[in-house]
Structure 1
C-alpha cells in the first residue's frame, strides 16, 4: 500500500527520504482503506512499514495491529532535489521506465539500487515464518520500481494507477511476486 497524501504531495514537492505530515485528506483516506479491510473481512498475519512517518502513520490509521518498521522499505533518495518543486525532476526515460542514475551525482540513489533493495526486502519478508497475508505500507517511487521488476513497463503504464492509499495486491510463490490488481478505495 502507498501512504496517504502528505503536505508535500499536495504542494507538488519532491519527497523521498525527507518527510512531511499527512494531510487531512491523507488521514481520512487511510481510515477509509482500514474500513474497506474491515468491511471485506481482510485480515493480515503481519504488518510492516517504511521507517518514514508518512508510511507508519498511514499504517496506524489502517489497522491497530502491531507492526514492524523496516529501513529497507524507505523511499528513493532524491539527493539535493528533496523538498524542491517536482518540475525540477530529471527527465524520465521512457525506454528504461525511470530516471535511471540521474539522482546519483546529486547525492541520491539510482533506480536500479532502489529496485534491488525493494525486491530483496520484500522477498525476505515473504519468506519469514507465518507470513501468508501481509500488509506493507511504503512509497510511490520505490513501489513502482519494485513492480517494474515483475511486470513489463507497458503493462504498468496501461493498467496500474498508484495514487496515495492505493493497495497493490500480489501473490508470492517460489521467490517470485505476481501482480494481481490495484485496489483504489479512495479517489
Structure 2
C-alpha cells in the first residue's frame, strides 16, 4: 500500500491533483562530475534528446499547470519537454506555465558549488567520520545537509529544515492553485536532491526506491486537498528507454 503522510493542514477540498515531478536533462556539470546545486550549466545534446523523449512520452498526458526551478537547466528542460509534446500531439492543450520558482532549486552546497565532486565526497566523509555508502546517506538526509552546512565557509549551504520549508511552501501553494483551477495533472521540473527530499519527507522508507534518480525520470505525488501521497518514483517508463547515465550515483560514492 502506498504510504500516506499529512504534510499540511486539512483544507476540506476533495478534488485530486497529480504532480509529475521530473529531474532536468543531463548537463555539462553532470558529465564533468562537478557539484551542481544553485550554480548552473546548460543541457548536453544527450540532455536535450532525453527531454524531447520525455515530451513525446507525455504526448497524451493532459497537464493543467507547469512549473520549474529557476535554474537555467530546469527552464531549458521544461521548454524542450513542452515543445516535443506539442510536436507529438498538436492537439494537446498547453498548460498554464508559471514563472520559474526558486523554491524548486536544488540544494545549495555553499563553497562546494561548481567544484569537483570528490570535494563533496570528502566533506561528507570528514563530517561523518567515515565513508558512508550512498544509500545510508540518503537515509540520513537531514544529517547530510547539516554536515555540509557546518563545513561551509560561505554561510550559504542549506540545512534540511530550509529545504523542507521551501518545498512545503511550494507544494502547498501549487496544490491549492491546481485545486482552485479544477485539479488535474501538474508538471514540475526540478533537481535530483529535490526529488530525493520529497521522497524522504513523504515516505522515508522509500528514499532509496530507486537508488538512482536519472535525468528526465518521473516521480508522481498525488494531493487530494488533505494528504500528499507518494506514487511511482524516478520512473523512466515515459522515455521508452533507459537514458544514458551521467553520475546518477555521484562522485564515486559506495553503493
User: TM-score normalized by structure 1?
Assistant: 0.90
The CA deviation at 1:137 is 0.3
Once residues 160 and 180 of structure 1 are traced to their aligned partners in structure 2, the CA distance between those partners, rounded to angstroms, is 16
Once residues 55 and 8 of structure 1 are traced to their aligned partners in structure 2, the CA distance between those partners, rounded to angstroms, is 14
Aligned twin of 1:85: 116
Aligned twin of 1:55: 74
Aligned twin of 1:103: 148
Please say if 1:127 is aligned against 2:176: yes
Aligned twin of 1:67: 97
SS state at 2:184 partner: coil
Compare 26-35 and 162-171 and name the one that shifted more.
162-171
The CA deviation at 1:160 is 5.7
Once residues 112 and 207 of structure 2 are traced to their aligned partners in structure 1, the CA distance between those partners, rounded to angstroms, is 25
Once residues 135 and 141 of structure 1 are traced to their aligned partners in structure 2, the CA distance between those partners, rounded to angstroms, is 17
Once residues 31 and 77 of structure 1 are traced to their aligned partners in structure 2, the CA distance between those partners, rounded to angstroms, is 28
Once residues 26 and 50 of structure 1 are traced to their aligned partners in structure 2, the CA distance between those partners, rounded to angstroms, is 16
Aligned twin of 1:142: 194
Cα-Cα RMSD:
1.8
Q: Any conservation in 1 of the 2:199–2:206 contact (CA below 8 Å)? A: no
SS state at 1:48 partner: strand
Once residues 55 and 9 of structure 1 are traced to their aligned partners in structure 2, the CA distance between those partners, rounded to angstroms, is 13
Once residues 168 and 212 of structure 2 are traced to their aligned partners in structure 1, the CA distance between those partners, rounded to angstroms, is 20
Query: Gapped runs of 5+ residues in structure 1?
Result: none
Please say if 1:169 is aligned against 2:220: yes
Please say if 1:11 is aligned against 2:32: yes
Given candidates 20, 27, 38, the residue that maps to 2:41 is 20
Are residues 122 and 160 of structure 1, via their aligned partners in 2, closer, same or farther at CA, if it must alter by over 3 Å? farther
Q: How many residues are treated as equivalent by the alignment?
A: 184
Query: Gapped runs of 5+ residues in structure 2?
Result: 1-21, 84-93, 125-131, 244-255
The CA deviation at 1:176 is 2.6
Are residues 133 and 160 of structure 1, via their aligned partners in 2, closer, same or farther at CA, if it must alter by over 3 Å? farther
Work out which of the two has the higher radius of gyration on C-alpha atoms and give 1 or 2: 2
The CA deviation at 1:158 is 3.7
SS state at 1:171 partner: strand
